[in-house]
């Protein structure tokens, strides 16, 4: 049977369009250039348009990934549409909850990104931590959303049947995170396993070595490696880390600087923690990198209107940050992508 040439061409166009969404190619413009445009011309007007009807001067937020002043108001329209169209398979969030959230004021910030439209970071009002971060790229018809939560124990989806709750297993991909791709005119698609690199792994030797920093007895597990999302409000980068934690009356020893993965985390009491790589949005997917420039992992600023680092911050203490001045998320400027 002969195919209609027009239909064949249309099908091929759709296939190529989808393929371009998951290509690991670098974005067309540098991340720093994108940031520089944040307060200029068209970029400023787009940010202002998204925040026009919100209160952006007095709303304080302490939940990650927002950690300072944020806008309070109705979310940008594309984020509202995403919430309403999220699949019912998203755990611990039913359709009525999504509709209520979409129509209610929330805390959010609009930030410069890698696309024509700015990115949005939103912390959703919920009984457990629940936030969404959009990632734009070179295709204006494609947006990727990272969703954290809600927590299974806080869900009302099971009503009076708590025994039916089924939390995500510790070995499920990214555990509490889901990545959705939204193409214009199409429902959100779960792309967590295709647009994210594999989870970080520990060797048997590392499991034994790091266990002492986490609990009085036993080994560390790969579930102890957590994502640091504290810079998402300024840069499209996350970081895999394992931090010593106090459990009950147990005080973990200090991690020595000689540890192969150790770096000083200024925001963790100036103590050493273990580094397992950066997740960098390159405009089309997440890349795992061993090092990034300081521009992609900036310090926290001392206030909502400040550009100055917190007092005492020293970026040189973090040996995984390079001094490359013009690195871009999808560019070749990293020194290494290998791991210890």
Q: What is the pLDDT of residues 12-52, one digit of tens each?
A: 443 334 334 433 444 433 554 445 444 444 455 666 678 87
Confidence tier at 206 by pLDDT (50, 70, 90): very high
pLDDT of residue 340: 41
**Do residues 102 and 205 make contact, with C-beta atoms less than 8 angstroms apart?**
no
- In the sheet that holds 106-111, the strands lie side by side as 55-60, 69-73, 106-111, 119-123, 131-136, 142-148, 177-183, 189-190
Q: Where are the beta strands (DSSP E) in 185-293?
A: 189-190, 226-228, 237-242, 262-265, 271-281, 286-289, 292-293
SS3 assignment, position 107? strand
Whether the per-residue pLDDT at 282 is higher than 80: the answer is yes
Confidence tier at 149 by pLDDT (50, 70, 90): confident
Confidence tier at 323 by pLDDT (50, 70, 90): confident
Q: Percent of the chain, pLDDT > 90?
A: 48
Which of 53-62, 75-84, 158-167 has the largest mean confidence?
75-84
Tokens of 274: 């273990």
Write down the H helix ranges in the chain: 5-21, 31-36, 41-51, 77-85, 95-102, 192-195, 204-210
Section 136-142 average pLDDT: 96
DSSP 267: G
Section 121-143 average pLDDT: 92
pLDDT of residue 124: 92
Confidence tier at 339 by pLDDT (50, 70, 90): very low
48-52, 106-110, 233-237: least confident range: 48-52
Write down the H helix ranges in 153-282: 192-195, 204-210
Helix (H) or strand (E) holding 27: none
pLDDT of residue 202: 95
Of 44, 188, 27, 183, give the one whose Cα is nearest residue 111. Answer: 44
Total-model pTM:
0.80
pLDDT of residue 145: 98
Section 224-239 average pLDDT: 93
Whether the per-residue pLDDT at 257 is higher than 90: the answer is yes
36-45, 62-71, 169-178, 201-210: least confident range: 36-45
Of 260, 216, 220, give the one whose Cα is nearest residue 243. Answer: 220
Section 234-257 average pLDDT: 91
Section 278-303 average pLDDT: 90
For helices 77-85 and 95-102, give the axis angle rounded to 10 degrees: 170
pLDDT of residue 324: 62
pLDDT of residue 128: 77
pLDDT of residue 52: 79
Tokens of 38: 């944040």
CB-based burial, 24-54: b 16+ in 10 Å, e otherwise: eebbeebbeebbeeeeeeebeebbeebbeeb
84-88, 116-120, 312-316: least confident range: 312-316
Residue 31 — φ and ψ, nearest 5°?
-65, -40
């Amino acid at each position: 049977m002969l195919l209609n040439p027009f239909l064949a061409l249309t099908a091929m166009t759709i296939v190529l369009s989808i393929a371009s969404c998951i290509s690991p190619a670098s974005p067309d413009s540098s991340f720093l250039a994108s940031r520089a445009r944040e307060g200029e011309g068209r970029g400023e007007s787009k940010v202002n348009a998204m925040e026009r009807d919100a209160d952006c001067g007095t709303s304080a937020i302490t939940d990650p990934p927002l950690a300072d002043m944020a806008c309070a108001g109705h979310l940008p329209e594309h984020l509202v549409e995403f919430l309403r169209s999220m699949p019912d398979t998203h755990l611990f969030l039913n359709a009525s909850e999504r509709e209520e959230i979409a129509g209610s004021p929330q805390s959010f910030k609009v930030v410069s990104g890698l696309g024509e439209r700015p990115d949005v970071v939103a912390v959703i009002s919920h009984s457990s931590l629940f936030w969404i971060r959009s990632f734009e790229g070179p295709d204006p018809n494609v947006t990727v959303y990272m969703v954290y939560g809600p927590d299974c124990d806080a869900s009302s989806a099971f009503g009076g049947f708590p025994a039916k709750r089924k939390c995500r297993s510790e070995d499920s991909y990214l555990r509490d995170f889901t990545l959705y791709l939204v193409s214009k005119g199409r429902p959100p698609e779960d792309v967590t396993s295709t647009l994210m690199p594999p989870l970080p792994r520990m060797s048997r030797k590392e499991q034994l070595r790091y266990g002492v920093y986490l609990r009085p007895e036993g080994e560390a597990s790969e579930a102890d490696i957590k994502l640091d999302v504290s810079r998402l409000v300024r840069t499209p980068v996350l970081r895999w880390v394992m931090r010593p934690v106090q459990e009950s009356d147990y005080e973990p020893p200090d991690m020595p600087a000689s540890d192969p993965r150790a770096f000083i985390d200024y925001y963790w009491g100036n103590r050493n923690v273990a580094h397992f790589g950066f997740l960098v949005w390159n405009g089309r997917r997440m890349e795992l990198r061993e090092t990034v420039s300081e521009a992609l992992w900036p310090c926290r600023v001392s206030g909502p209107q400040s550009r100055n680092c917190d007092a005492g911050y020293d970026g040189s203490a973090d040996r995984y940050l390079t001094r490359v001045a013009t690195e871009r998320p999808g560019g070749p400027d990293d020194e290494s992508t290998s791991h210890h």
